[in-house]
Structure 1
Amino acid sequence: MEPISFPPSGKFLESIRTSSRALREVANISIEEESIKRLLLSPAFTSSFKRVSAAHGLAMPLNFPSAGAELNLLSILSLLNFGSGYRAPLHAETGHGAWDCMRAFVFSLYITSSADEDDLLSARGIQNLSEAKVAELMRVNVHVEKPHETLKHVTIGELRGPMYDLVKLVTGVLNETGGILVNLGYPDLGMFVLEALKDGRRACSDGNNHADVELVLERLVRAFPAFQDMAVVEGQSIFCFKKALFLIHAIFVRFGSSNPPPLPVPSTSHMPVFSDNVLPSLLVHLGVIDISNSPSLSLLFPQAGSAEQLGALLATAGPGGDAAKILPKDGPSVTASQAYILRAAAIDACELIIRVARTLEEPEWLRDIELPALDMWIWAVAKDRADYRQLARFAAQDTVFF
């Protein structure tokens, strides 16, 4: 892909919105108001939104010695919030998807660390993690058996396959981020984030209520390549910054309810959504994102948006079927450009969904929904319903951004 520059300082949030709208329109993807209303007023949405949007997946069954230790773990977890393209092989190997596997891996890093010398979540700890250690703690097999070249009936293990590819991505991100932190003089990623949060709080005192989110987002993206979720696609710059936005909102979720909070907590109600592969795929299936006239995308989801499918998906979930027991299928593989176009469409679609929701008279609570809660509903309902869990999601493996 073409080289891309950062957005102007202080314009990172605005650039996410404007670049997403521009790329969506260039790709000839349509989002109609009637399709949005159909979703918002559907039994599927109104009967589940309040319950499902609270399922953020950020509960931490660990004892932390300090808020700083929890912030560091949360920061590492957000850094590693990718691997969606390995969903099917991860389920086959571990019984869990990418998010649950990454969370279990980070928990293992924390539990097996020693406060004195072997803190695997410190800057030096993640800088020095080996592929073997990552594979061990992820509990995945990175070897593929093949026949020996000369000895009959003998097989040997070779380092390859999807799990090895994922382990290499995880190890590379951790090593790179740890090296940057060490060079900058930070003991861990949490301390870097905490300093940005404090500077953001001071910036808010100047009258800009959203300056904290803007500052933390910019600091994360400029410092660490694993947060630089941006590209040039079809001549358009596109900025998504999914993992950095997720981290900022995770801080709000984990610490915002404490009184007083143990560290500066940004207000995230205005942030764009954290666009991965789930949001655009589900919004295509639910008839909000129309890719039928997009030359590069129209064949990806051939059954999506049909009247028969929409009738079932927009109804209340039917009885029976344990969503958690349904093994996912591989969805359509996409190029990096296709992935960015779809993710941009989801960002813009969610902005439009909130705008339409503000105009509805009934039910009244629809007028108050916010972007992060909408994001959480789309992400969580994809796991909550058995029929949604079977819907194809696009897959891209060679990325550390989603």
Structure 2
Amino acid sequence: MAPLFPEPSSLLSAIRSSSRSIREHANITISPESIERLLKSPAFLTSFERVSAQHGLALPLKFSSPLDELNVISILSLLNFGSGYRVPLHVETGRGAWDNIRLLIFSMYIGSTEDDLLSAKGMQRLSESKIAELMRVNVYIEKPHENIPGVTVGELGGPLYELVKLISGVLITTGELLEKAGYPSLGAFVVEALKEGAGKTNAVEVVLDRLIRFIPAFQDCYTVDGRPVYLFKKALFLVHAITIRFGTSSSPFPIPATSRIPVFTDNVLPSLLIHLGVIELPPSLQSIFPDANSPDKLTPLLAEPYPGLQMHGSPPTEGPILTTDQACVLRAAAVDACEMIVEKAHELNEPCWLKDIELPKLDMWLWSIAKDRADYRRLERFVLRDTVFF
């Protein structure tokens, strides 16, 4: 059961405080020593400034207007999930969840010659078969024929069919809500939210509140052991994506300040922070990553990557499958860990650029370094399927 939403004026503080509360309740440890070890490591110092700039939001599309681009970014953020299907996606397409969702958005945009598939009406018309076609994935599994020995038949099923159904459900539900409320597109709704926050000291919270209350696929919050936990990963990602794409130009719509918003926690951030020795799991959770924090594994991860380290084309390994509550607790721990990392970085102030580290940049470093280094790409990430939140 999801908790009641916090008031807009306390939305960001609710994310931080609820994340710390459930992390401490779960007896997950984040020590200053482990944070300082990461910040002083060659792995961090030699890569942060370069890798934290890799946001993946430069889209190779020709837009007719800023609103056109904003709509694409908004739907890309809405569909920014599917991490639990990373391995089957890699096996099928050679790409992970994010790159497959980007491909889907590109295909929807390019395929909108007659019907605008990215409009509120168009989102509702996208069938499961059309989504599978646009994503170029096979949603059939082979099963033995019931009556004819040695003959197999194809039927809908398997993990990629599950993902396609989730995507279809989000698009249809969101499109219906937008059309009923009189919005021609998700971008039009987002523009109205941006204008509502314009000039207010808590502009980013006003925008987030509009997104969260109106669209179910942004309602990323939980009740764990009677405690509310607010994460709102995709809504935070969207407002920061808007700042990245439009904040440095003369934008036709207001841009909220996002340099101090919490991180966009998914399965990558907590998994990587566990592997890098920052998040230390209690005995009750150590079976998730039983070898994490062992010196043999940790030492090379904190060093610079050695030359010639290659992936050899092998797909990633499926990580441990968690319950919704377990995934929530680890994601919340990552939110709190990143807050503590930024605080410690500002204290250390050496090298001098540490004092300028911001939470979204730390988020981008963690997310991007997980793909930038071949040895990091091989690290297991926990898995939660049947969710539209990450």
Shorter-chain TM range is over 0.9
| One-letter amino acid of the structure 2 residue matched with residue 309 of structure 1 | K
- 1:247 equivalent in structure 2: 238
Is 1:266 paired with 2:266?
A: no
1:56-99: CA deviations, max 9, x gaps? 01111000000000000000000000000000000000010000
Aligned to 1:82: 81
Residue deviations 1:253-306, cap 9 Å, x none?
A: 111121x22322211100000000000000000000000x252x2210011111
Q: Does structure 1 residue 199 correspond to structure 2 residue 196?
A: yes
Residue in 2 aligned with 1:375?
363
Offset of 1:327 from its aligned partner? 1.5
**8 Å contact kept, 1:29–1:290:** yes
Q: Which amino acid aligns with 2:160?
A: M
Match of 1:113 in 2: 112
* Secondary structure of 2:369 counterpart: helix
1:156 is aligned to: 153
Q: What percent of counterpart residues are identical? A: 60
Q: Which amino acid aligns with 2:49?
A: K
Deviation digits for residues 300-356 of structure 1 (CA, Å, limit 9, x no counterpart) = 001111112111000001111335934211000000000000000000000000111
Superposition map of 1:3-152 within 5 A: 3-114=2-113, 117-152=114-149
Amino acid at match of 2:157: R
Contact 2:218 2:389 in 1 (8 A): yes
CA contact (8 A) 1:326 1:389 kept: no
Indicate the residue corresponding to 1:174 in structure 2.
171
CA contact (8 A) 1:323 1:383 kept: no
The equivalences for 1:196-235 within 5 A come to 196-202=193-199, 204=200, 208=201, 211-235=202-226
In the alignment, is residue 275 of structure 1 matched against residue 249 of structure 2?
A: no
Distance (whole Å) between structure 2 residues aligned to residue 163 and residue 215 of structure 1: 36
Number of aligned positions between the proteins: 390
- Following superposition, the deviation at residue 154 of structure 1 comes to 2.7
Which of the residues 327, 351, 364 maps onto 2:339?
A: 351
8 Å Cα contact 1:323/1:385 also seen in 2: no
Q: Taking structure 1 as the reference length, what is the TM-score of the superposition?
A: 0.95
**SS of residue matched to 1:145:** strand
Task: Please state whether the residue corresponding to 1:345 is helix, strand or coil.
Answer: helix
SS at match of 2:347: coil
What is the DSSP-based 3-state SS (H/G/I as helix, E as strand, rest coil) of the residue aligned with 1:127?
Answer: helix
Q: Which residue identity lines up with residue 133 of structure 2 in the other structure? A: E
d(CA) in 1 for partners of 2:375 and 2:53? 20
8 Å CA contact 2:229–2:332 kept in 1: the answer is yes
> Counterpart amino acid of 1:28?
N
Q: Are 1:165 and 2:162 matched, yes or no?
A: yes
> Which runs of 5 or more structure 2 residues have no equivalent in the other structure?
none
Verify the 8 A CA contact 2:2 2:221 in the aligned structure 1.
no
Question: Per the alignment, do residues 55 and 359 of structure 1 end up closer, same or farther by CA in structure 2, a change over 3 Å counting?
Answer: same
Q: Deviations over 1:350-401 (max 9, x none)?
A: 0000111111141111111000000000000000001100111000011000
Match of 2:299 in 1: 311
Amino acid at match of 1:362: E
1:396 is aligned to 384
Residue identity in the other structure for 1:127: Q
Structure 1 counterpart of 2:274: 284
Q: TM-score, normalised by structure 2?
A: 0.98
Q: Structure 1 residue runs of 4+, over 4 Å off?
A: none
CA distance in 2, matches of 1:58, 1:324: 27
Deviations 1:107-128 (A, max 9, x none): 10000002xx510000011022
In 2, Cα distance between the equivalents of 1:58 and 1:3?
30
Aligned-partner Cα distance in 1 for 2:360–2:349? 22
Match of 1:336 in 2: 324
Letter in 2 for 1:21: R
**What per-residue deviation string (whole Å, max 9, x for no partner) do you get for residues 131-182 of structure 1?**
1111110111111011211123432111110010000000000000000001
CA distance in 1, matches of 2:61, 2:120: 21
